[in-house]
Amino acid sequence: MAVQRLTELQDALQNQLNLTQKIQDIQNKLDDEQYVLSSQQYRALDDQLQHLRDEVNQYRDMVDQLQGEQISLLNREKDVTIKAESSDAARWESNISDSRAANLQLKLQQCMSDCDTLQLRVEDANQALGVVY
């Protein structure tokens, strides 16, 4: 029985030595940078990383383009606002001018009426005095 146990221990020790050697081989492979860089998992992750970098650059370009469009739209909005304000000011000045013109027209009519009245008075006064033109 002791011999059997010794054999089992030797087998277990040999198994442990084999596993230790396998672990050492795997450790050596992991320590070897070229092995890691050429591994399928690393290449897959590297491809995925490159794809994600390309997407980031694409989105960055889109953001830059949209920011340019936003600036352009803000400038157009500012121009439209300035034109609208200018139009409002012109409309206000036009209304004031129309109002002044209407007032001047009334004053002109009143002056013409006063002139006609004065002319009639002068004619009446001249007739009363006997002056003929």
Per-residue pLDDT 10s for the chain (133 aa) are 989 999 999 999 999 999 999 999 888 877 777 777 788 888 999 999 999 999 999 999 999 999 999 999 999 999 999 999 999 999 999 999 999 999 999 999 999 999 999 999 998 988 888 766 5
Determine the pLDDT at residue 35: 74
- Return the domain boundaries, the chain: 65-117
Burial of 40-64, coded b for 16+ CB within 10 Å and e otherwise, reads eeeeeeeeeeeeeeeeeeeeeeeee
